[in-house]
Structure 1
């Protein structure tokens, strides 16, 4: 089972084959200048607290549609939660909508989930729970959203049958959240 814990936190093991593998890490350090260039009308620094033009995904709090510090933080948390939901369902299409097209770790997690789903592999549950959520205005654009993520021990499933175990772990997540097209987008993220 390919782990989908961001930046490869944790280990997976296939008890049936006695294999254990360390997940690969993300080295993303910044957003592309194409999509995160400084623009005061899109940088998230405005006091405009009206909802974005797009509809919110099911289960996302209404505050995540507001162009505020709280909205950026709520959106960042919702994105991380959606990684877990997509890993469970095998459908990362909502993740594509929630990120810019120039976000390398976003594209990679979508690719990994799709590849696993094509092989019949998903997670038994959404393993993520988040705490310590904070947002800080960035000098270039948008917000730096940070949180601690706990990953619960869970099983990988292959064609509906147990396939390996993912050990519990935790990590610190930092995201770059920007306002684009009437709503928040993830421009980059890194795990430490």
Structure 2
């Protein structure tokens, strides 16, 4: 093929590739879930599901490509679908997205068709950094090595979540008892009428912060 024709063919292929990639670039978006930034692109849909080890090692590592243009926030439905495709079923089924100070909190609770919590609300508990670390350490111990006392095992669930969050869920009194002295300022919130009257509460320790969510 003559050089000039090869050049035209190359230009044509490049234009076709650009046109094919345009929808993906237009649909790319960013979200923050449990303190982790997620970059979501359409090509993720239907991709081969990675193994658990790969997900734990790589999630949510990806960088925003400047060629995509301005960073666009993902809506909750897109985030929910992405999480469902990239995480274990037991870490997304029965979870919902609650608004947090810096994005979304993925917590146990009923959700609507857009993935948002229908009843669960969360608040950040103000406390010193060492207090938050101590709560995280206590919940991690319950989830990974030292389960709750026999009497509380049916009323409490401790979870080391794939997003990096540590969760302790149950009735407020049982949660407070499991945390013991580590509860600190959280103990006051757990004793409030709202928490005591909730069907269940979830304590979340993530990114140096502690949240109390009530159903």
TM-score bracket, normalised by the shorter chain, equals under 0.3
Higher relative contact order (CA 8 A, sep 6+): 1
Q: Which has the higher strand share?
A: 1
TM-score relative to the length of structure 2: 0.22
Larger Rg: 2
Q: TM-score, normalised by structure 1?
A: 0.24
